[in-house]
Amino acid sequence: MLPLWYDRQLQAMKKNETVPCSPEENQFFDEIKSLVINARSHAYAAVNSIMTQTYWRIGQRIVQQEQKGKERAEYGQYLIRNLSKVLSSQLGNGLSVANLKNFRQFYLTYPDEKSYTLCSLLTWSHIRLIMRLPEEAERDFYIYETHAQNWSVRQLERNIQSQYYRRLLSSQHPQSDTKIKPANDVIGNFIKDPYVMEFLGLPENTEYLESELESSIIRHLQKFLLELGKGFSFVARQMRVSTETSHFYIDLVFYNFKLKCFVLIDLKTTKLTHQDIGQMDMYVRMFDDLKREEGDNPAVGIIFCSDKDETVVKYSVLSDNAQIFASKYRTVLPSEKELEEELKRNRLTSRHTE
């Protein structure tokens, strides 16, 4: 006697319906599907790597050819226009003047063939955004993080516009290296100042409750995690920590698996006060005493505030406590000029706390 599933399979085939399958067949189908998906992924990566190398070599040849006619001021423009016409007529679209100029810029940005090795791990759309950045250290940072964090083109563009790198740099110790080393899992590489949270949809310079700010963060938790950076996972909202005499509630608790520690966030919709700092100091000490597990590093506390006072920062535990930070947050995406001014103020405040 045939198994019931096989009889149903025969009936479905006669009616041209979806065929029911045995568990073994479903497993077989899944294995074949995985093979196809993996093959497509490897094929895409291989094609992307070859095309990136090709674009670099095209840029190299353009620059080399330009140098032959460098005594003619307009030769470079003439060369690229004519090259585009010839290639487009013979190979079709995709080799416009703008694209050829991008290939040229790609080579000029990474003139050493070894220096663009990491670029081959990214898409051309990612590379075009990164290669326009003026500083080598910043370009290296975005290449590494884009690959490591699997940033989409849109996420990379947003992070560049919000000066993700410079905001991380502004939280570094003034005497530390002016480059962020992405492979170094030190606390300073994970703290930004300010945090930019335009995705919350909250108007700036408008009064709202801390509970509203918290609820908005929870509604946009995925985007908030991206803004926090690498290694963060959400643990709890309004986590209760109880002592023998009292209960305390921490606004947001995360765990960073790279730092191997809990990260406590206290939300303030007002200017930073010494009471806020004292409260966070207590939270961190209490959390480590009551919640920290064996193998965890000491907890880190971040106070999110709308503004900071240099005097409060200088004469508080913030100046010498490596586990507690205060960062401003913005609920709109500031202009490049506004961010530059903000980062300058942060650097001055850091120097004054020395």
Of 147-161, 201-215, 245-259, minimum mean pLDDT range? 201-215
* Rounded Cα gap, residues 219 and 327, in angstroms: 21
Q: Are residue 203 and residue 312 in the same domain, yes or no? A: yes
Mean per-residue pLDDT, 86-113: 86
Element of type H or E holding 301: strand 300-305
217 falls within a domain:
yes
159 falls within a domain:
no
Place of tokens 């947001």: 252
Q: Are residue 229 and residue 325 in the same domain, yes or no? A: yes
pLDDT at 52: 87
* The two three-digit tokens of residue 45, written as one number: 């990566």
Of the candidates 320, 331, 278, the residue with the CA atom closest to the CA atom of residue 303: 278
* Rounded Cα gap, residues 329 and 142, in angstroms: 22
Of 175-189, 208-222, 230-244, minimum mean pLDDT range? 175-189
67 falls within a domain:
yes
Residue 10 confidence (pLDDT) above 70: no
Q: Tell me the pLDDT band of 15, cut-offs 50, 70 and 90.
A: low
pLDDT at 53: 87
Cα first-last separation, the chain = 86
Q: Are residue 100 and residue 184 in the same domain, yes or no? A: no
Of the candidates 203, 208, 329, 207, the residue with the CA atom closest to the CA atom of residue 265: 329
120 falls within a domain:
no
307 falls within a domain:
yes
**Pairing between strand 247-256 and 195-196?**
unpaired
Instruction: Encode burial over 68-96: b for 16+ CB neighbours within 10 A, e otherwise.
Output: eeeeeeeebeebbeebbeebeeeeeeebe
Of residues 202 and 337, the one with the higher pLDDT is: 202
* Rounded Cα gap, residues 27 and 29, in angstroms: 5
116 falls within a domain:
no
Phi, psi for 120 (deg, rounded to 5): -65, -15
pLDDT tens track for 339-348: 777 777 666 5
303 falls within a domain:
yes
pLDDT at 174: 45
Q: Count Cα neighbours of 297 within 13 Å in the Cβ-side half-sphere.
A: 15
141 falls within a domain:
no
Of 153-162, 171-180, 277-286, minimum mean pLDDT range? 171-180
Range of the domain at 54: 1-108
Q: Which of 108, 133, 160 corresponds to the end of one domain?
A: 108
Residue at 206: amino acid letter = T
**Pairing between strand 247-256 and 232-242?**
antiparallel
Q: Are residue 99 and residue 196 in the same domain, yes or no? A: no
Mean pLDDT score of the chain, rounded to an integer?
A: 83
Of the candidates 133, 155, 134, 158, the residue with the CA atom closest to the CA atom of residue 146: 155
Distances from the Cα of 31 to the Cα of 35, 69, 109, angstroms = 6, 58, 43
Q: Are residue 241 and residue 100 in the same domain, yes or no? A: no
Q: Count Cα neighbours of 303 within 13 Å in the Cβ-side half-sphere.
A: 28
CATH code of the domain in which 215 resides: 3.40.1350.10
Provide the H-helix boundaries in the chain. Answer: 4-14, 23-68, 75-91, 97-109, 124-130, 136-149, 153-161, 164-170, 210-219, 221-228, 274-290, 310-314, 336-352
pLDDT tens track for 128-138: 999 999 898 89
Q: Which of 108, 125, 147 corresponds to the end of one domain?
A: 108
- How many domains are contained in the chain? 2
pLDDT at 286: 94
Give the residues across from 328 on adjacent strands.
305
CA 103 to chain centre: 25
Of residues 113 and 248, the one with the higher pLDDT is: 248
Asked if residue 129 lies in contact with residue 151, where contact means CB atoms within 8 angstroms, the answer is no
* The two three-digit tokens of residue 163, written as one number: 């000066």
Asked if residue 133 lies in contact with residue 141, where contact means CB atoms within 8 angstroms, the answer is no
Q: Tell me the pLDDT band of 175, cut-offs 50, 70 and 90.
A: very low
Give the residues across from 250 on adjacent strands.
239
Residue 313 confidence (pLDDT) above 80: no
